[in-house]
Amino acid sequence: MYTMNRRDFIKATALASVAAVAAVGVDPTLARVVQAAGSRAEGGVDEWVKSVCRFCGTGCGVELGITGGKLVALRGDQQHPTTKGLVCAKALFLPKIVYSKDRLTTPQIRNADGVLEDATWDEAMTLVADKFAEAIEEYGPNSVAYYGSGQAFSEESYYANRLFKGGIGTNNVDGNPRLCMASAVGGYVTTYGKDEPMGSYDDIDHAQTFFLVGSNTTECHPVLFNRILERYQTGDRVRIILLDPRKNPIRKIASVHLDPIPGYDLPIFHAMAYVIIDEGLYDPDFVDQHTVFKKVVKKDDGSTEVVDVDFEGYKEFLEEFTPAKAAEISGVPAAKIKQAAKIFAKGPTTSFWTMGLNQRTAGVWANNLVHNLHLLTGNIGKPGATPFSLTGQPNACGGVRDTGSLAHLLPYGRVVAKEAHRQQMEAIWGAEPGRIQPKPGLHTINMFRGLAAGDVKAMLVLCTNPGQSLPNVTPYREAMKSEDSFMVVLDAYPTRTTELADVVLPAAMWSEKEGVYGMSERRYQLLPKLLTPPGEARPDLEILMDFAARLEERGVVPAGYIADKFETPADVWEEMMLASKDTAYDFTGITRDRLREERGIRWPAPNEDHPGTARRYVKGEDPLLDEGPYADDSLAEGDTKFYARPDGRAVIWLRPMKGPAEPTDDEYPYVLSTGRVLEHWHTGTMTMKAPELLRAQPAAFIEINPKDAKELGLRTGDMVRITSRRGEAVIKARVIDTPRKGMVFVPWHWPDMPSLINRVTIDAFDPGSKQPEFKVCAVQLAKV
């Protein structure tokens, strides 16, 4: 069996991308840079203050070094219960990023010549409020929209959601988590009744098997992967199953690598279930006591309905997905599928997945099928046994999913379609009865299509960069800069979106404002305000409060609804706790004082004495099974009950085969998939401000399988034109045996127009989650 020293593996993983760049003449300096940054963090600091990293959803605890009111260093927080002093390379350069010379410091208004020019706050906010009020008065509340972010603080997202849904009266509230996590939400809700993982990072320390699906954890969640690797090295015969069309670094320690044709992995999950049942590896008692089987059928009138199926019906369904049949569709050998199924069933198994599963037109179904495997084998609700969706942003979970800041949701598991839920939130918010509309608003893609069509007249964009991050971005960029639309953007840096805005409002950066992040394992953590924002920049919540007051003055939000209700983020948090009471998210025990003292608390935590919950749905661990509306005294210690479902049972879904929206053909014979690299994050707005990170990964690249490169006459360093039915990009080739033949891979971080890859991607989306299919589209390749 392959073995490697853990430190060497992490180092090799960190430098994997750099080494490929070094082959074409760039010095791979990242390891030395990280070492130097870490050593500098130990000296010349007046005070160290606990906080949380600004980047991914791992939620790494950090300590910020403050000297003379300035942030001079960052180090990992050794006392943090989950990340234990580790941080990735990106985090170490946050002190440089905060003080980037191109920070936005003054409000700007686009003048008659189309040029952004400096303005006062009053001039900018008057224009913003006037434009929104005019649109609402002339075209109604659904003519305006809010587009938020999984990077905003929870209080900011909650406040904006409250303002738009309960004040203005529109559900046109969405955000960039729609692009990354919506299918995971759909999977959890349709299987268990409510969103969010039931396990925690603690399960890593007990798992015997890790099932890593569509997740390059080494580069996208490196601190978390370090913990997986620790378990791999110290555990007894720990196994890793990797399911990914690319040979990402995890393959080096995987027991089996399943590399399907992109978009054709659903049969693999079904075939694994087939093997588990056929060889008697399932848990019949768990299946009988805790699950039901369902499928969606089409009726004669074209509508659909959900019907119950029994276990025998499920087994009959799986006959269409034997390993041999799955191999024909997916391109993965049947023997590998059988091997993976047997390893998975042995358990305890923890599954981790992210964008490779979610960013698909069958993303919800793919999520369901991973849950199916856990339910069939009883690999759930026990130490080391959990299905766990990882998050790409620091607050997509706590800030958007939990606060209900998407077009179809309301806070803490409520939905706009249910009258009782609307009434509950109208009462908590003090909104007029009936103010919250019963119909979901525009989700991300339809919101920007609405902007293009002229249906959305005014839009507020907060802490995100849709001018670069949307799929098939070109028509949406045209809509954003159109004279027929009005867009205001709150951000800390110039972006591909601020360049299109009518008004740009300079926002405070992480560490210049106070708020809460909720990371992947349901842990809510407080980030303190330590710095003064540069120039005239203001915290986003302060800007939103000013905006709300001006809308009340103009009569488009009822007087007294929101403007005078809150003064600080802590005030907003008090109402958020109240909104969570007696829900599946109950965190009424996570007070502001506790957050200041402790290093985060995992909900549910219904009282101040509760330490937080490592595993939901388990009697003796989940406090909601002991008290409150979900309490059940008939359960014994350790019993499982999926109380968010009416019958207390999770659903095993019979999902049919469904391929990508745009399969390859003779005209467009290659599959494009996009993703990330270790050194950069999202649209590069922050990481490219650190010269060390930019030197490590200075430019976009396209990974091409050597066999495809030979057929195309391409070598590493050649420029390649990537063309789809929507647009093109020109990017430097990296010939490497990482993607499977017929597939190419491009990281999406770089904003320069020749390599802006989202001009090529497709905006088809999952009909349930409305999440776009970034991971699969058909392209042509040609040497430039």
Q: Which residues 6+ apart lie within 8 Å of 221 measured at CB?
A: 56, 57, 58, 215, 354, 390
Tell me if residue 355 is catalytic.
yes
Handedness of CA 642, 644, 648, 649 (dihedral sign): negative
C-alpha dist (Å) from residue 766 to 410, 479, 771: 21, 23, 5
**Residue of 65, 381, 392, 515 with catalytic role:** 392
Residue from 660, 672, 699, 675 nearest 780 by CA: 672
Tell me if residue 648 is catalytic.
no
CA distance 12 to 212: 19
Tell me if residue 181 is catalytic.
yes
Q: Which residues 6+ apart lie within 8 Å of 429 measured at CB?
A: 162, 166, 561, 562
Contact 526, 514 (CB under 8 A): yes
Tell me if residue 393 is catalytic.
yes
| Cis check: omega of the bond before 438, within 30 degrees of 0 | no
Residue from 401, 423, 428, 397 nearest 581 by CA: 428
Q: Which two three-digit tokens encode residue 515?
A: 């708020």
CA distance 80 to 85: 7
**Residue of 53, 56, 125, 181 with catalytic role:** 181
Contact 275, 318 (CB under 8 A): no
**Residue of 56, 57, 90, 339 with catalytic role:** 90
What residue spans of 536-591 are helical by DSSP H? 540-553, 569-580
Q: Which two three-digit tokens encode residue 703?
A: 């990974």
Residue from 556, 761, 631, 715 nearest 130 by CA: 556
Q: Which residues pair with 30 in a beta bridge?
A: none
**Residue of 53, 355, 425, 743 with catalytic role:** 355
CA distance 639 to 618: 6
Please give the DSSP secondary-structure letter assigned to residue 415.
Answer: E
Count of beta carbons in the 10 Å neighbourhood of residue 484: 10
Q: Which two three-digit tokens encode residue 502?
A: 């009518």
Residue from 730, 734, 753 nearest 745 by CA: 734
- The three-state DSSP-derived secondary structure of 58-90 is CCCEEEEEEECCEEEEEEECCCCCCCCCCCCHH
Count of beta carbons in the 10 Å neighbourhood of residue 101: 5
**Residue of 180, 480, 576, 777 with catalytic role:** 180
Tell me if residue 545 is catalytic.
no
Contact 783, 712 (CB under 8 A): yes
Contact 393, 57 (CB under 8 A): yes
**Residue of 339, 393, 525, 697 with catalytic role:** 393
Active-site residue set: 90, 180-181, 355, 392-393
